[in-house]
């Protein structure tokens, strides 16, 4: 009897739940002003409308109702029961303030919106995924991720659009999850995001990612010269990737042909974004033909303690000039007073979100030494060392406050290509409030 | 007995499903920082809050719970069961690359984000619909559609805001559904989107759309002169509009009073967006008083084969100058190797989304000839012919790849108003990856 | 028996409803191109994935399924059953047109998008709320609200980010709910939005809001000088705050240290946004050290009739110059012909949404006198009086049309800092169509 009632319940439930979804207005209905007329009338004329909107029914008949699961963590996520379609909408708000103990130059105390970002991502027809992420923090629309990928040939994935070239553990890790407020000095050499095509292979301990890239989406060579292009690849190997024990190793290389203007420039702020002074600056190097990058990465997590380091080298090829080489590295350590571990994601070879173990949140102490040298072959781009002490308070998985104390030591050539005084040795204190949803 | 149980189930189910929606926080609750205090406290003080937030209850009492249907195709759509409210969120990612076989000028090989678009649309209080569509592909926020409409007086609809003036079959068809990567050369004369008020009437075979328009949302006459305005109308007639057989005819006219600066300009790239060279360019024509446009359109679909063509003429009225006339036309054919038909939408008189019949998708071959002549009455804007061969692969209804091979023939005056060499005859190859959700 | 069946139903229902949510893909799954591989495979490997994505389970274990309530009013809102998480997405479209009966200067008839806004707001982990609101009407991304707040210490709330400094009843009231199309002339002195930290206390009749602020998010002192900062507070007292009877009193003060450039400027358009002429303009006042503001506000609602007024004074402190003082005030009255009352929100001390009582909507007549005097201490910023007559038609709670007739009277110094003729006395007629969702 019980069984019968349960079966009845199921069928009844289903008819209610799925039944009322049959009146779903077909997805393809137009809402444009020149289009469709009153929706209620459309329903009364549903036969005609169905023909018009669905076109031929075939492999991609979408008239079946969907059962959709919803989740919200401040943003919102939908997934169809069959997992073939999903949609996720979220964002982040990052607010910074900085006070500079100035030495030879004024750096400009103040506050800023560091990130104001909207993120859409989803899956459709089971095989395709996409992400669209735009930053508005400067009052413009700075496109970050804008790509879609074919994801039905595991362990391979094929991606097209605007996304990060696979280079550097710190670059691959989202700013939301960085241990310090800003990436280390050598990050000035990492390629960042470009328009391109990428392939990604994932094994149990290994990931391989390669890509062919054009320029960044808003780069365009002057006088209609050809844009540049690059090829970048990264290999990661994690013999240990448990929840509280990680050994990560990685190496990456990148070659980039510079566009028809043949101008190349490396520059870098100190590890603070609020000031606009880029002490390190090679200036525009003309007759630049290509740049080749090498990167080595390592990370080690043991319980609440972790270490991470990277070394990056850049070799520039110039016509009629000596070929300069630049390099930099950093080493950092972190300790969770409250017992958490840094969260390593083996499948992407990078770090992720911290989930506090206690109601009052998680507290992390961290220190970093980083150095970058842009002086070589007669180019006086400057050299700088930054020592950072940091403390992070994760109130919950989506809110954290950060404070960084940074000691900057610049050489005589670190003069923003002549705009400021070299040998500047300021001390920086900066604060961050971050929420993502 | 079964009946009784089912009834019980229904009532029980309803009480559960709708019951728990009674605790829905009222829509009007404020989340602003200076506002509402803790939500849980609000619930405990629900009587007070209800009074505060709902104001007077009357014709628009919104305290009833809603039963909402959800659908996702990568984006997401909600509709209340009564159909009175709906909301839809989606977007698109379009990535292009182009390689130019140059003749007399450099055109700039490269890649770009062609469209990065966010789309919101919906219905509220049954009678009103809206659409908000913004493009971010250039790193700015380019507003496309931003309108709302009264939609409760079928077959009429009244629209206000920023939307396309009703002119040209190709212009009215979304870029997502175009047969070629770019619209044909004569599209340089179509008015595009403006701020205005429109009326739309839909019959069984006929549509009539008329509108009164100001300028585009970001046009503003210098020195606080008055903006221009225009009136545009389009009539379409489709004696045959089956799924696989279509005969479409249309005519349109537009009059535009030019703003107080009295400067007018037509210009056009070749049928490739990546290059910034606009070979055809009248330059700024001063003392321009008004422009009058005429357009003729025709389309014929028979199974997998279709043809489409348009002719557009523009007559410019100038003070103290001869009045020039410009014109252009195109003719295109397309054939689906895989058996699909182009999808005609009679109610809006334009083409829509292709749904592949097979798992491996749909393949379409297409060819187009187009021409535009901007030489007249002493104005040497140039004349150009473009021949395009295209192949499209629709992987599913929301993803397609396109390749276009374009032969460009310019006359001696097609020199970008003097900036480049005329009589240029380059060949263009361009590729597109497109996903919408 | 009935009881047993009902209990069965409940348990069964729950198992179905919550059961199928168990297959929810965990929120933390990566969709990035370098990441996760096929989702279906992930599900088959769910044990591994769960370990990877959820990190340590502890205080913030998020693996439980959620039951989510949905509501749409054209936009969309989600709330978990426990009320701990919510998400809301909406926007607004405001279109204006203006016709100027000009006197001594041309003002530029035309139309514009006044507001094109996207709004996200939500709650997460019960304790935190946020809002993200961006305006795109000028083709850029103008960040309005971008803040998050700790909201679990009632009656206190602590807010961080970019939001309105608490000053002026009219400034605190959303443009969506203003009685006239534009705020009154003295609003030129209200601080508006800045980056900062605020505290808000709510009592039964009283609200207190104080904040410490940096500059607006896109202000940055030149030459890396320090940014300015300010402190602002507002106190409101509403001895009567019923649905149809309101007595509101408020006072506010603000101190602002001007940034290292020491330049200060007040300017104001007439009460019409479409023209770009700012008759009132002090020009850039150098050697400005600080500005202190005082504001008084009052409002009285009795049934369909209401009155509202404010007085604002600004005292500027300058080095080596006389210290000028500027002031202005307005008084307005409104009458709903159709019986509605203005909707006062005691908890935030401002006005809100009108809900029409009848199917044909609500009609409101209104009049306002406002004045602002920027002449003092040798500064000839001009003085102006604006008299406005307005009529508003609220078609439903989310759509309204407005018309304003404005008589402008400027003194001889109201010459846009020398750019136009003073003593201009034009008459302005402007129209608005507004929808929010």
Q: Which long-range contacts (CB under 8 A, 24 or more apart) does A399-403 make?
A: A399/A434, A399/A435, A399/C125, A399/C128, A399/C148, A400/A354, A400/A432, A400/A434, A401/A431, A401/A432, A401/A433, A401/A434, A402/A180, A402/A181, A402/A431, A402/A432, A402/A434, A403/A429, A403/A430, A403/A431, A403/A432
Q: A110, C214: Cβ pair inside 8 Å?
A: yes
B5, B86, B130 ranked by CB distance to C93: nearest: B130
User: Phi-psi region for residue C418, left (φ > 0), alpha (ψ -120 to 50) or beta?
Assistant: left
Question: In residues, how long is chain C?
Answer: 437
Greatest Cα pair distance, chain B, in angstroms, is 92
Task: Report pLDDT for B359.
Answer: 93
- Over residues C51-79, the mean pLDDT reads 60
The share of chain B scoring above pLDDT 70, in percent, equals: 85
Count CB pairs under 8 A between chains A and C: 255
Q: A37, B202: Cβ pair inside 8 Å?
A: yes
Q: Name the band, by pLDDT with cuts 50, 70 and 90, for residue C7.
A: very low
Nearest chain A alpha carbon to B69: A21
Q: Are the beta carbons of A430 and A407 closer than 8 angstroms?
A: no
Decide which of B108 and B49 is more confident: B108
Question: Burial letters for A259-281: b for 16+ Cβ neighbours within 10 Å, e otherwise?
Answer: bbbbebebbbbbbbbbbebbbbb
Whether C341 has its CB under 8 Å from any CB of chain B: the answer is: yes
Tell me how far CA of residue A416 lies from CA of A280, A283, A313, A428, in angstroms: 6, 8, 21, 18
Q: C122, A437: Cβ pair inside 8 Å?
A: yes
Residue A425 structure tokens = 């040795």
**Helix pair angle (A2-19, C2-19), 10° resolution:** 50
Pairing of strands C325-336, A68-71: unpaired
The residues, any chain, with a CB within 8 Å of residue B45's CB and separated by 6 or more, are none
Residue A277 structure tokens = 């002074």
Distance of CA B371 to the CA centre of its chain: 23
Whether B82 has its CB under 8 Å from any CB of chain C: the answer is: no
In chain A, what residues touch B159 (CB-CB under 8 Å)?
A: 33
Phi–psi pair at B218, nearest 5 degrees:
-105, 15
Q: Is the dihedral of CA B89, C174, C266, C402 positive or negative?
A: positive
CA distance A354 to C56: 9
Q: Name the band, by pLDDT with cuts 50, 70 and 90, for residue C149.
A: very high
Whether B303 has its CB under 8 Å from any CB of chain A: the answer is: no
The share of chain C scoring above pLDDT 90, in percent, equals: 78
CA-closest candidate to residue A334, choices A225, A230, A180: A180
Q: Is the dihedral of CA B42, B44, B49, B50 positive or negative?
A: positive
For residue B226, give how far its alpha carbon lies from the nearest alpha carbon of chain C (Å): 4
Dihedral in degrees, nearest 10, Cα atoms B219, B221, B223, B224: -90
Q: What is the DSSP string of B343-412?
A: -EETTTTEE-----SSTT-EEEEEEEEEEEEEEETTEEEEEEEEEEEEEEEEEETTEEEEEEEEEEEE-T
Task: Report pLDDT for C231.
Answer: 98
CA distance A325 to A314: 6
Question: In residues, how long is chain B?
Answer: 437
B34, B55, B223 ranked by CB distance to C343: nearest: B55
Say what the pTM is.
0.87
Complex ipTM value: 0.86
CA distance C417 to C413: 8
Residue C89 structure tokens = 């997405």
Pairing of strands B305-318, B362-376: unpaired
Q: Are the beta carbons of A434 and A402 closer than 8 angstroms?
A: yes
Average pLDDT, chain C: 87
Q: Is the dihedral of CA A273, A275, A278, A280 positive or negative?
A: negative
Task: Report pLDDT for B312.
Answer: 98
CA distance A344 to C55: 8
Q: B355, A141: Cβ pair inside 8 Å?
A: no
In chain A, what residues touch B155 (CB-CB under 8 Å)?
A: 37
B134-138, B377-381, C28-32: lowest mean pLDDT where?
C28-32
B55, B146, B224 ranked by CB distance to C93: nearest: B146
Task: Report pLDDT for B223.
Answer: 73
Which residue in this structure is represented by tokens 């929100």?
Answer: C345
Task: Report pLDDT for A224.
Answer: 80
CA distance A173 to A236: 14
C105, C136, C159 ranked by CB distance to B143: nearest: C136
In chain A, what residues touch B138 (CB-CB under 8 Å)?
A: 218
Residue C172 structure tokens = 């605190």
Q: Rg of chain B over CA atoms, in angstroms?
A: 26
Residue C208 structure tokens = 């207190």
pLDDT tens readout for residues B92-109: 999 999 999 999 999 999
Q: What is the DSSP string of B261-295?
A: T--B--EE--S-SSS---SEE---BSSEEEEEEEE
Task: Chain B: list its partners (3+ Cβ pairs within 8 Å).
Answer: A, C
CA distance B29 to B53: 6
Say yes or no to pLDDT of B1 above 50.
no
Whether A13 has its CB under 8 Å from any CB of chain B: the answer is: yes
Average pLDDT, chain B: 87
Mutation for C interface: A88, A98, A108, most C CBs within 10 A: A108
Give, for all 437 residues of chain A, the pLDDT tens digit: 455 444 443 433 333 333 332 222 223 333 343 333 333 333 333 322 222 333 333 455 444 556 788 888 878 888 888 888 999 999 999 999 999 999 999 999 999 999 999 999 999 999 999 999 999 999 999 999 999 999 999 999 999 999 999 999 999 999 999 999 999 999 999 999 999 999 999 999 999 999 999 999 887 777 788 999 999 999 999 999 999 999 999 999 999 999 999 999 999 999 999 999 999 999 999 999 999 999 999 999 999 999 999 999 999 999 999 999 999 999 999 999 999 999 999 999 999 999 999 999 999 999 999 999 999 999 999 999 999 999 999 999 999 999 999 999 999 999 999 999 999 999 999 999 999 99
A358-367, C48-57, C247-256: lowest mean pLDDT where?
C48-57
pLDDT tens readout for residues B413-432: 999 999 999 999 999 999 99
- Cα three-residue angle A378-A384-A386, rounded to 5 degrees: 165
Residue C406 structure tokens = 């404005």
Task: Report pLDDT for A52.
Answer: 31
Dihedral in degrees, nearest 10, Cα atoms B50, B54, B59, B63: -50
CA distance C409 to B287: 34
- C-facing residues of A in 135-194 (CB < 8 A) are 136-141, 145, 147, 149, 151-155, 157, 159, 163-164, 166, 172
Task: Chain C: list its partners (3+ Cβ pairs within 8 Å).
Answer: A, B
Task: Identify the burial level of B120 via C-beta atoms within 10 angstroms of its C-beta, where 0-12 means exposed, 13-18 middle and 19 or more buried.
Answer: buried
Say yes or no to pLDDT of C303 above 90.
yes
CA distance C160 to A402: 14
Task: Report pLDDT for C66.
Answer: 61
In chain C, what residues touch B60 (CB-CB under 8 Å)?
A: 355-356, 396-397
- Over residues B166-174, the mean pLDDT reads 98
Q: Name the band, by pLDDT with cuts 50, 70 and 90, for residue B219.
A: confident
Task: Report pLDDT for B44.
Answer: 33
Q: A2, C12: Cβ pair inside 8 Å?
A: no
Q: Rg of chain A over CA atoms, in angstroms?
A: 26
Task: Identify the burial level of A137 via C-beta atoms within 10 angstroms of its C-beta, where 0-12 means exposed, 13-18 middle and 19 or more buried.
Answer: buried
Number of alpha carbons in the 13 Å side-chain half-sphere of residue A37 = 23
Which helix (DSSP H) or strand (DSSP E) does residue A117 occupy?
Answer: strand A110-124
Q: B347, A162: Cβ pair inside 8 Å?
A: no
CA-closest candidate to residue A349, choices A243, A194, A212, A241: A241
Say yes or no to pLDDT of B54 above 70.
no
CA distance A423 to A415: 8
The residues, any chain, with a CB within 8 Å of residue C373's CB and separated by 6 or more, are C326, C327, C328, C383
Which residue in this structure is represented by tokens 């007086």?
Answer: B153
Residue C94 structure tokens = 């405001």
**Residues pairing with C97 in the sheet:** C111, C431
Q: Are the beta carbons of A97 and A404 closer than 8 angstroms?
A: no
**Residues pairing with B103 in the sheet:** none
Q: Are the beta carbons of A121 and A100 closer than 8 angstroms?
A: no
pLDDT tens readout for residues C150-164: 999 999 999 999 999
């Amino acid at each position: 009897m019980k069984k019968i009632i349960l079966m009845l319940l199921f069928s009844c439930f289903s008819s209610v739940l799925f039944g009322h979804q049959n009146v779903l207005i077909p997805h393809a209905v137009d809402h444009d002003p020149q289009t469709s007329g009153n929706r209620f009338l459309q329903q009364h004329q549903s036969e005609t409308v169905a023909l018009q909107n669905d076109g031929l029914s075939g492999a991609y008949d979408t008239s079946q109702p969907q059962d959709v699961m919803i989740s919200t963590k401040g943003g919102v996520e939908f997934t169809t029961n069959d997992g073939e379609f999903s949609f996720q909408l979220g964002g982040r708000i990052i607010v910074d303030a900085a006070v500079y103990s100035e030495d030879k130059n004024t750096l400009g105390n103040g506050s800023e919106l560091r990130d104001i970002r909207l993120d859409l991502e989803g899956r459709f027809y089971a095989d395709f995924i996409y992400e669209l992420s735009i930053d508005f923090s400067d009052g413009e629309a700075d496109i970050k991720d804008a790509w879609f990928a074919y994801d039905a040939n595991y362990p391979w994935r094929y991606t097209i659009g605007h996304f990060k070239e696979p280079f550097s553990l710190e670059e691959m890790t989202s700013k939301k999850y960085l241990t310090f407020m800003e990436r280390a000095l050598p990050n000035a050499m990492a390629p960042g995001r470009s328009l391109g095509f990428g392939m990604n292979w994932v094994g149990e301990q290994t990931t391989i990612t390669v890509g062919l890239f054009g320029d960044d989406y808003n780069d365009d060579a002057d006088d209609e010269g050809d844009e540049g292009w690059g090829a970048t690849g990264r290999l990661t190997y994690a013999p240990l990737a448990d929840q509280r024990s990680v050994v990560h190793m990685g190496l990456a290389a990148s070659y980039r042909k510079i566009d028809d203007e043949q101008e190349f420039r490396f520059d870098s702020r100190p590890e603070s974004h609020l000031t606009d002074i880029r002490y390190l600056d090679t200036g525009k190097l003309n007759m630049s033909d290509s740049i080749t990058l090498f990167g080595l990465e390592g990370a080690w997590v043991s319980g609440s303690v972790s270490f991470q380091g990277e070394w990056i080298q850049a070799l520039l090829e110039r016509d009629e000039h000596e070929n300069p080489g630049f390099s930099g590295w950093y080493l950092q350590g972190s300790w969770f007073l409250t017992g958490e571990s840094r969260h390593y994601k083996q499948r992407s070879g990078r770090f992720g979100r911290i989930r506090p173990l206690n109601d009052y949140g998680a507290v992390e102490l961290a220190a970093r030494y980083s150095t970058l040298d842009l002086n070589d072959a007669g180019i006086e781009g400057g050299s700088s060392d930054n020592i950072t002490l940091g403390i992070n308070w994760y109130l919950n998985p989506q809110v954290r406050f950060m404070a960084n104390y940074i000691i900057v030591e610049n050489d005589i050539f670190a003069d923003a290509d002549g705009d400021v005084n070299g040998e500047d040795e300021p001390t920086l204190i900066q604060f961050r409030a971050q929420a993502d949803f």
